[in-house]
Amino acid sequence: MSTRTSIHGAWSGRLAFILAATGSAVGLGNIWKFPYITGENGGGAFVLIYLICIACIGIPIMMAEVMLGRRGRQSPINTMQALAEEASASPYWKYLGWSGVVAGLLILSYYSVIAGWALAYVFRTASGVFTNVTGDGASSLFGRFIADPEKLLAWHTLFMVMTMAVVARGVKGGLEKAVRFLMPTLFVILIILLGYAMNLGEFSRGVAFLFNPDFSKISADGVLSAMGHAFFTLSLGMGAIMVYGSYLPANVSIAKTSIIIAVMDTLVALVAGLIIFPIVFANGLEPGAGPGLIFQTLPIAFGHMPGGEFFGTLFFVLLVFAAWTSSISLIEPAVAWLVENRGHTRVYAAVVMGIVTWSLGLLTVLSFNLWSDFKPLSGISVFENSTLFDLLDYLTANIMLPIGGLLIAIFVSRIMTSDITMRELNIQDSQHAGYRTWQFLTKYIAPAAVVIVFLKVTGIFDITVIFNAILG
């Protein structure tokens, strides 16, 4: 095992790391994004592809990222530089760290705006705005809310301040303290809400929508979204898990913890789906409603159930907590780098990166109102209706994260020696079945999957063309 130590400190133990990494993974991706993109892509088939991607690409790459971080013990940029040097590989590998930092800031710029919606909805639900609200009523309240750039900006600003406040306090005093309180609370709230959804008449329809695959409903772009979402939801491909790995004590098992984190993240997404779709169907709503889905559907449920104000408030508090423990990991790679390379204090670094991200967030704020008709790539068919927010989301989740993940898989399986990876994974025998599986997945399956899906979406590679050629 490597003998480096991190200048930023370390988690107090295995549980703290699991909570922090699960906190990073579980976020808006699970509770806000997973339901609405599942709805847009027709349900079961999309979910199945997403689950396969988690198992065959997500878990092995998560192990890879934790390993790189723990061995490098620095921000992803410096870790990649140090490990490339150690392997006598090209110094350009450090740009993998850079692209992660950029992806993290871009994601956080829109993530924070959506988290701002959740913040606003905490107060709206608590004040009883949704009591007895109708489907149309909830939609029009949401529509008026996002049409107001000043409101979105105010909530986005508040959320960025919350994020910076935690990051500025450091690994043990900020990040770890926050997740130790927030994550258990989140699990309790989810279970309470699942209980509510199970008692709705349409629970079984929700289950069928999520788990009965109908492959006629999914396109190549849908497959890319499922794969991109596997990266997004596990926080992979941009260095968040890598930087958290750099604070991981040396004796903790990377394989076991990665599997625990991925399983918890997947469970939360499925439970969120099981809460939301029964409500959607019970109220005759549209599963493909887009990014506003949970903000348009859940208030109806909360507006009619006994104790709805309480449960509704609780739900949006949960969403804010989940987003908060993810946002700190989106900005941590950038902050750690500023501290390491420029010698700034954490407080200063958090403020600088926070301001950069906040400013980028203005693009998303405006894309829901004043610039909602600005569709710069409308000439390309998949982007026909894409606003700046949609493009940012697509660029990061569907392009930058999978490419980052692809390169990480290549690095651990082809650049690092198996001596080193075996030592980090605590494996003595190179024929160990688990180790061989991991190697196979990172060396062949993950890279091939990313490349094939890309080629398919861009239309360069069409499996049907090959079949037709073979079959004459």
Binding site for ligand PHE (CB under 6 A): 24-25, 27-30, 107, 232-233, 235, 238, 240, 326, 329-330
Choose between 224 and 300: whose C-beta lies nearer to ligand PHE: 224
Choose between 190 and 240: whose C-beta lies nearer to ligand PHE: 240
Choose between 11 and 371: whose C-beta lies nearer to ligand PHE: 11
Least distance from ligand PHE to the Cβ atom of residue 164, Å: 16
How far is it, in rounded angstroms, from Cα 226 to Cα 438? 21
How far is it, in rounded angstroms, from Cα 364 to Cα 349? 23
Choose between 231 and 411: whose C-beta lies nearer to ligand PHE: 231
Choose between 222 and 228: whose C-beta lies nearer to ligand PHE: 228
Least distance from ligand PHE to the Cβ atom of residue 9, Å: 20
Least distance from ligand PHE to the Cβ atom of residue 332, Å: 9
List of residues 6+ apart from 352 with CB closer than 8 A = 338, 344
Nearest by Cα to 225 from 399, 375, 58 = 399
How far is it, in rounded angstroms, from Cα 380 to Cα 368? 21
Q: Two tokens at 285?
A: 């709503």
Choose between 60 and 333: whose C-beta lies nearer to ligand PHE: 333
Choose between 84 and 242: whose C-beta lies nearer to ligand PHE: 242
In this chain, which residue has its C-beta nearest to ligand PHE? 29
